[in-house]
């Protein structure tokens, strides 16, 4: 192919049309949002073909088919709709060159895309933003930034509509660089725009007297987009962080809508939020390694809010000048012009997470909670918000204060914070400014408190002796409710610099556990990549669980845990040039065996330590999430063993079937 030029809940109104109702229209299989669903639990509970009991016999029959070359590397999660263009099953991928493609599952490797949408304005000569034009010439995503956050699809629309944020660059008549970000709405059957794309900086400038300053240059749209509905009108939830912690930025959230008048469709900004007050930009970015805001749209109580995590930045409880860095936030729309924090959890050690142990010496060590009890010397920039947030709905577990779910979040410190949504609300009346070296307070009192702080990742004892980014939780982690008390409610994590993939089970035995996890691990498996001395290599993985819930208890042993290894994005293991190595896919029995091991199934496809010549996966990109549905496995990235920047940067997708 030739190369061409959370977030929020709107009060009692927000969920009159539930996203769960929309999911019913995908009975033949759909993945419309990052993390598989609005709970962000990374579980596909309707996979009836790929099962642990059969993959051992069909694993050797699975074949890999690669897509045509696509313009631009793929960092966002692919999306999937069944029976959408005629009778076709379609995979949608968005690239860093601002292209969106619809790929035919039935003719995956041998045909051009069903449609291609170039979101750049070709009349202006727009392209994606070159790294050199980003703050600090940030090259975290090389060599250009366009579409990074995973789009979202509204299946209640007819035809369905995809919402996607793109970032653009061109030189004006005075040879000055112009950078913009736009929200696009695309018809998934044609790729054509449903409405005129909305310039996001202009939308914020015109919103609430410009109370939120939005920089299209500095703000990085990395987190996946969210979607819910207000009286039948889609509410699109978008969050921003930064590029390499450079420039003037903060954690900004916008809720957008698509309205119809006659034949005209219009995108507009409904409401917004700045986690560093409404007048400053002082860090606290929302990026979550590509995960999206978890939205409680279940219709149960408490309901009507959404949850996200912020990165390094100040925490200040002064109610006239709030800073919400290093926090798990519960956002709510009270009917005024701005989103508000209706609940939160901030670790007591938020300052250490920001600034590290003093001089990386022996003072102010960071305490790790059980089961990883002990202390570590922490570097600075330990973002709590590097991990995702999950609305976890356990089976047959009595939760605190009759809650219907718990909120899980975790970051570079390797701690999973288990929060009660009702306690988070009460915390707003108990704001505090205390600090300490304990990541959490679990006893009710005058401070905010969590049900549990779980030391879910074994970090090196001295984290100062390495690269700051090479630790902890990145992106999503899976929570599998399972089918009964004894076989479900399992959390899976794969933390950077750890030596195992861990499974922790929520305690259903201890009276008053309120959704806490047992302090000992429930199952484990060694990290599959044969390098880095057996440690989980950066950037870790977002575990995914697939099973067929229709089989009930009888299908529990068929549940599969999938791990995608993307450490080859830097090309360190197979290419001296730095070109990306293929991503590696591994599968395990999700249910631990009698000796608490997560035993591998017969299927895997990955680079060896010596060569990548026989690997089928695309070139790795950071924080990638595999899509497993209807007996197919899709992994997106970039063309393997080709260095973007010195050659055209092509995206690639591998399908196993």
- Bigger pLDDT: 16 vs 88: 88
Question: Worst-scoring range by mean pLDDT, 14-23, 63-72, 465-474, 592-601?
Answer: 14-23
- pLDDT category at 297 given cuts 50, 70, 90 is confident
Distances (CA, A) of 259 to 198, 266, 304: 13, 5, 21
In the DSSP assignment, the letter for residue 63 is -
Strands 43-44 and 544-546: parallel
Instruction: Report the candidate in 6, 1, 657, 4 with the shortest Cα–Cα distance to residue 329.
Output: 6
- Bigger pLDDT: 288 vs 321: 288
Q: What is the pLDDT of residues 150-192, one digit of tens each?
A: 999 999 999 999 999 999 999 999 999 999 999 999 999 999 9
For the chain, the helix, strand and coil percentages under 3-state DSSP, each to the nearest 5:
15, 35, 50
What is the spatial distance between Cα 40 and Cα 295, in angstroms, rounded to a whole number? 8
Asked if the model's pLDDT at residue 256 lies above 90, the reply is yes
Q: What is the pLDDT of residues 452-493, one digit of tens each?
A: 899 999 888 777 765 555 789 998 899 999 876 677 899 999
Instruction: Report the candidate in 288, 252, 282, 241 with the shortest Cα–Cα distance to residue 472.
Output: 288
The answer to whether 439 and 369 have CB atoms below 8 angstroms apart is yes
Token representation of residue 441: 């307070």
Give the DSSP H or E segment for 219: strand 219-220
pLDDT for the residue 653: 95
pLDDT for the residue 332: 83
pLDDT for the residue 21: 35
Domain boundaries, the chain: 1-32+76-286, 35-71+477-624+626-657
Q: Which positions ≥6 away from 419 have C-beta within 8 Å?
A: 328, 345, 406, 407, 408, 409, 450, 451
Asked if the model's pLDDT at residue 95 lies above 70, the reply is yes
In the DSSP assignment, the letter for residue 474 is -
Quick check: helix, strand or coil at residue 325?
coil
Token representation of residue 108: 């995956």
Q: What is the pLDDT of residues 326-353, one digit of tens each?
A: 999 999 866 556 788 888 888 888 888 8
What is the spatial distance between Cα 43 and Cα 544, in angstroms, rounded to a whole number? 6
Instruction: Kindly state the average pLDDT of the residues 564-592.
Output: 80
| Chain position carrying tokens 């010596």 | 610
Q: What is the pLDDT of residues 528-559, one digit of tens each?
A: 876 656 788 889 899 999 999 888 887 888 89
Instruction: Kindly state the average pLDDT of the residues 229-254.
Output: 89
- Bigger pLDDT: 215 vs 575: 215
What is the spatial distance between Cα 630 and Cα 29, in angstroms, rounded to a whole number? 7
Indicate yes or no: pTM above 0.95.
no
State the average pLDDT for the chain. 84
pLDDT for the residue 94: 98
Instruction: Kindly state the average pLDDT of the residues 364-383.
Output: 86
pLDDT for the residue 617: 86
Instruction: Report the candidate in 348, 538, 319, 351 with the shortest Cα–Cα distance to residue 442.
Output: 348
The answer to whether 194 and 266 have CB atoms below 8 angstroms apart is no
pLDDT for the residue 150: 98
Q: What is the pLDDT of residues 513-524, one digit of tens each?
A: 788 998 889 999
- Per cent of the chain over pLDDT 90 is 49
Instruction: Kindly state the average pLDDT of the residues 120-144.
Output: 94
Exposed / middle / buried, residue 402 (Cβ in 10 Å: 0-12, 13-18, 19+): exposed
Distances (CA, A) of 345 to 295, 417, 453, 485: 17, 9, 11, 28
Q: Which residues are paired to 418 by β-bridges?
A: 408, 452
User: Within 298-396, where are the H helices?
Assistant: 350-355
In the DSSP assignment, the letter for residue 168 is E
Token representation of residue 364: 């102010």
- pLDDT category at 16 given cuts 50, 70, 90 is very low
The answer to whether 577 and 643 have CB atoms below 8 angstroms apart is yes
The answer to whether 604 and 586 have CB atoms below 8 angstroms apart is yes
Give the DSSP H or E segment for 177: strand 177-187
pLDDT for the residue 511: 61
Count CA within 13 A, CB hemisphere, residue 104.
14
Q: What is the pLDDT of residues 396-438, one digit of tens each?
A: 888 888 899 999 999 999 999 999 998 888 766 555 545 567 7
Q: Which residues are paired to 183 by β-bridges?
A: 165, 198
Quick check: helix, strand or coil at residue 43?
strand
What is the spatial distance between Cα 19 and Cα 34, in angstroms, rounded to a whole number? 14
- pLDDT category at 115 given cuts 50, 70, 90 is very high
Task: Convert 130-144 into a string of H (helix), E (strand) and C (coil).
Answer: EHHHCHHHCCCCCCE
- Taking every pair of C-alpha atoms in the chain, what is the biggest distance, in angstroms? 70
Give the DSSP H or E segment for 489: none
What is the spatial distance between Cα 433 and Cα 322, in angstroms, rounded to a whole number? 11
pLDDT for the residue 337: 65
Asked if the model's pLDDT at residue 611 lies above 60, the reply is no
Q: In the chain, what is the straight-line distance between the N-terminal and C-terminal CA atoms, in Å?
A: 24
Quick check: helix, strand or coil at residue 253?
strand
pLDDT for the residue 163: 98
Question: Is the bond leading into 642 cis (omega within 30 degrees of zero)?
Answer: no
- pLDDT category at 211 given cuts 50, 70, 90 is confident
pLDDT for the residue 300: 46
Give the DSSP H or E segment for 497: none
Question: Worst-scoring range by mean pLDDT, 9-23, 36-50, 490-504, 639-653?
Answer: 9-23
Quick check: helix, strand or coil at residue 20?
helix
- Bigger pLDDT: 58 vs 23: 58
pLDDT for the residue 400: 86
In the DSSP assignment, the letter for residue 58 is H
């Amino acid at each position: 192919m030739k190369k061409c030029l959370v977030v929020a809940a709107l009060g009692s109104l927000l969920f009159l049309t539930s996203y769960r109702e929309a999911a019913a229209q995908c009975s033949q299989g759909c993945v419309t949002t990052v993390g598989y669903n609005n709970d962000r639990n990374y579980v596909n509970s309707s996979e009836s073909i790929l099962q642990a009991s059969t993959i051992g016999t069909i694993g050797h029959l699975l074949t890999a088919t690669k897509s045509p070359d696509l313009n631009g590397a793929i960092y966002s999660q692919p999306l999937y709709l069944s029976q959408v263009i005629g009778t076709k099953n379609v995979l949608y991928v968005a690239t860093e060159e601002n292209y969106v493609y619809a790929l035919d599952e039935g003719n995956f490797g041998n045909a051009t895309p069903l449609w291609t949408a170039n979101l750049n304005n070709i009349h202006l000569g727009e392209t994606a933003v070159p790294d050199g034009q980003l703050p600090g010439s940030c090259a975290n995503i090389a060599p250009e930034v366009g579409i990074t956050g995973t789009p979202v699809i509204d299946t209640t629309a007819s035809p369905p509509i995809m919402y996607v944020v793109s970032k653009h660059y061109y030189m004006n008549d005075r040879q000055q660089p112009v950078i913009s970000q736009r929200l696009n709405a695309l018809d998934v059957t044609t790729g054509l725009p449903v409405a005129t794309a909305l310039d996001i900086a202009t939308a914020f400038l015109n919103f609430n007297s410009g109370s939120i300053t939005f920089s299209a240059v500095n703000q990085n749209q990395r987190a996946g987009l969210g979607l819910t509905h207000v009286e039948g009108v889609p509410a699109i939830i978008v969050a921003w962080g930064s590029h390499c912690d450079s420039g003037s930025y903060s954690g900004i959230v916008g809720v957008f809508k698509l309205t119809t008048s006659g034949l005209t469709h219009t995108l507009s900004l409904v409401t917004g939020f700045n986690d560093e007050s409404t007048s400053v930009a002082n860090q606290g970015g929302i990026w979550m390694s590509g995960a999206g805001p978890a939205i409680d749209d279940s219709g149960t109580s408490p309901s009507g809010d959404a949850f996200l995590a912020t990165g390094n930045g100040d925490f200040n409880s002064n109610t006239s000048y709030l800073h919400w860095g290093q926090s798990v936030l519960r956002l709510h729309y009270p009917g005024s012009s701005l989103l508000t924090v209706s609940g939160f959890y901030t670790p007591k050690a938020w300052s250490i997470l920001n600034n590290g142990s003093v001089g990386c010496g022996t003072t102010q060590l960071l305490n790790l909670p059980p089961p990883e009890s002990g202390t570590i010397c922490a570097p600075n920039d330990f973002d709590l918000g590097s991990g995702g947030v999950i609305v976890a709905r356990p089976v047959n577990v009595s939760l605190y204060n009759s809650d219907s779910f718990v909120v899980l979040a975790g970051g570079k410190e390797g701690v999973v914070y288990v929060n009660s949504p009702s306690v988070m609300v009460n915390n707003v009346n108990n704001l505090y400014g205390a600090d300490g070296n304990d990541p959490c307070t679990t006893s009710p009192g005058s401070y905010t408190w969590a049900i549990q702080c779980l030391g879910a990742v074994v970090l090196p004892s001295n984290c100062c002796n390495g690269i700051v980014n090479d630790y902890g939780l990145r992106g999503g982690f899976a929570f599998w409710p399972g089918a009964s008390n004894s076989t479900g409610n399992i959390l899976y994590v794969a933390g950077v610099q750890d030596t195992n993939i861990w499974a922790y089970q929520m305690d259903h035995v201890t009276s008053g556990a309120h959704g806490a996890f047992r302090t000992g691990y429930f199952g484990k498996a060694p990290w599959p990549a044969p390098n880095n001395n057996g440690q989980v290599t950066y950037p870790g993985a977002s575990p995914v669980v697939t099973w067929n819930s229709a089989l009930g208890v009888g299908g529990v042993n068929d549940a599969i845990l999938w791990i995608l290894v993307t450490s080859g994005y830097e090309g360190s293991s197979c290419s001296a040039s730095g070109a990306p190595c293929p991503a590696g896919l591994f599968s395990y029995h999700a249910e631990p065996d009698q000796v608490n091991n997560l035993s591998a199934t017969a299927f895997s496809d990955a680079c060896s330590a010596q060569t990548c010549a026989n690997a089928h996966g695309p070139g790795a990109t950071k924080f990638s999430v595999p899509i497993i549905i209807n007996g197919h496995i899709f992994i997106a990235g970039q063309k393997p063993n080709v260095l973007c920047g010195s050659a055209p940067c092509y995206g690639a997708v591998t399908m196993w079937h």
